[in-house]
Amino acid sequence: MTDTDCILASRHLLGIEGLTREELLLFLDNADNFSEVMTREIKKVPALRGKTVINLFLEPSTRTRSSFEIAAKILSADTINISGSESSTSKGETLLDTAHTLEAMNPDLLIIRHKESGAPHLLAKHLKRTVVVNAGDGTHEHPTQALLDCMTIRQHLRIKGRGLSGIKVAIVGDVRHSRVARSNLYAHLLLGNEVTLVGPETLVPQDFLGPKAFGGKGKISIARNLQDGVKGADVVICLRMQLERQAGNYVPNLEEYSREFGVSERVLKAHAPDSVVLHPGPANRGIEVSSEVLDGPRSLFRMQVHNGVATRMAVLFLLATHKDSTHKELAAA
């Protein structure tokens, strides 16, 4: 695998924000390499033998948690999983106390999902030895989702003889509450892609275009109707309506929302006939996307889940070995 000594600036992965394009591509290239391991009869390599990975998931998760666990196991790391109800945070312990308790057992990596934006950053600031990976923090970022989405898009484009840069990406739906949208936005702006955010004002606030927000960084626009938003898109990323994060009324009702912004084959055929569709899952079928699209030939939905394992192998491997080299440097100093 590629040598990481000089290329990863941070020992943690907290977000796509702040990564360089080279770092992003390093993760993607390693994920491509690791996907070969998944096709082997015996899916096991010794790369992280003797390392310990803790999955601390304080919010529900099916695919992210299991793919981190499978990835760590394929790499021969020892893994333990702690979920919300099993952790002492449910007895009133602070997140920081829980994290210090876990660090006292000398894990190498701590994968954290938390409902509060910024929780992984807090741990990264206070933990001395443990590498922190953000597996989704509130409405903020979900970096490994964006990486696996980019990996999946790149695979598709390769078949068409195209590269991952200079494409048109539409991100449709509840952008306001979506960490997947934010991480993908950062990634596609780094890659030099054109991004259109599609949705009503309540779900796609105008301030995404402000000079201090994403609008200051690249080719980004907002569309208030689906037809204009997906016009000519190469990739359409559907977002789940984050009903659990919507304290107020962001749409008059779901039926009406779905009539206007639900991604359908009819609209794609007319306005983005060559597009592929992604959805991070879990999907609300019939709300943000139709089953016809999700299960149809343009959908990369299952491929995303498949690529989630190789992506997380790459992240675990690069961060665990990066930490080793940092430690060696410290020991030699």
# residues contacting ligand NCD (CB under 6 A): 10
In the complex with ligand NCD, which residue's Cβ is closer, 47 or 289?
Answer: 289
Minimum Å gap between C-beta 84 and ligand NCD is: 14
Residue 240 contacts ligand NCD per CB under 6 A:
yes
Minimal CB distance residue for ligand NCD: 240
DSSP three-state, residue 84: helix
Q: Which of 84, 192, 205, 281 binds ligand NCD (CB under 6 A)?
A: 281
Rg of the chain, C-alpha, whole Å:
20
Reduced to 3 states, what is the DSSP secondary structure of residue 136?
strand
Nearest to 316 by CA among 30, 43, 118: 30
Cα–Cα distances in Å, from 176 out to 200, 239, 255, 269, 281?
10, 10, 19, 27, 17
Residue 283 CA to residue 289 CA, distance in Å, equals 8
Write down how long the chain is: 333
Nearer to ligand NCD, 280 or 322 (CB): 280
C-alpha 193/C-alpha 27 separation (Å) is 18
145 binds ligand NCD (CB under 6 A): yes
Q: Is 279 one of the binding residues for ligand NCD (CB under 6 A)? A: no
- Residue 199 touches ligand NCD, criterion: CB under 6 A: no
Among 143, 139, 171, smallest CA distance to 239 is for 171
Tokens matching residue 310: 């190789």
107 vs 280, beta carbon nearer ligand NCD: 280
Verify binding: residue 180, ligand NCD, rule CB under 6 A: yes
What token pair was written down for 323?
């930490």
CB of 294 to ligand NCD, least distance (A): 14
Coil, helix or strand at residue 238: strand
> Does 120 help bind ligand NCD (rule: CB under 6 A)?
no
Min separation Cβ 119 and ligand NCD, Å: 14
- Reference 197, options 236, 160, 144; nearest CA is 236
- Binding track, positions 31-70, relative to ligand NCD; x by CB under 6 A: --------------------------------xx------
Letter for the amino acid at 14?
L
Question: What DSSP element (H or E) covers 319?
Answer: helix 301-332
Shortest distance, CB of residue 70 to ligand NCD, whole angstroms?
14
CB of 64 to ligand NCD, least distance (A): 4
Binding mask 71-110 for ligand NCD (x = CB under 6 A): ----------------------------------------
140 near ligand NCD, rule: CB under 6 A: no
Question: Which residue in the set 51, 114, 140, 142 belongs to the binding site for ligand NCD (CB under 6 A)?
Answer: 142
Instruction: Let me know: does 92 contact 98? Beta carbons within 8 Å.
Output: no
Closest approach, Cβ 265 to ligand NCD, in A, equals 22
Helix ranges (H only) for 75-107 are 95-103
Cis check for the bond before 282: say yes or no (omega within 30 of 0). Answer: yes
Among 71, 222, 280, 290, binds ligand NCD (CB under 6 A): 280
Where on the chain is the footprint of ligand NCD (CB under 6 A)?
63-64, 136, 142, 145, 179-180, 240, 280-281
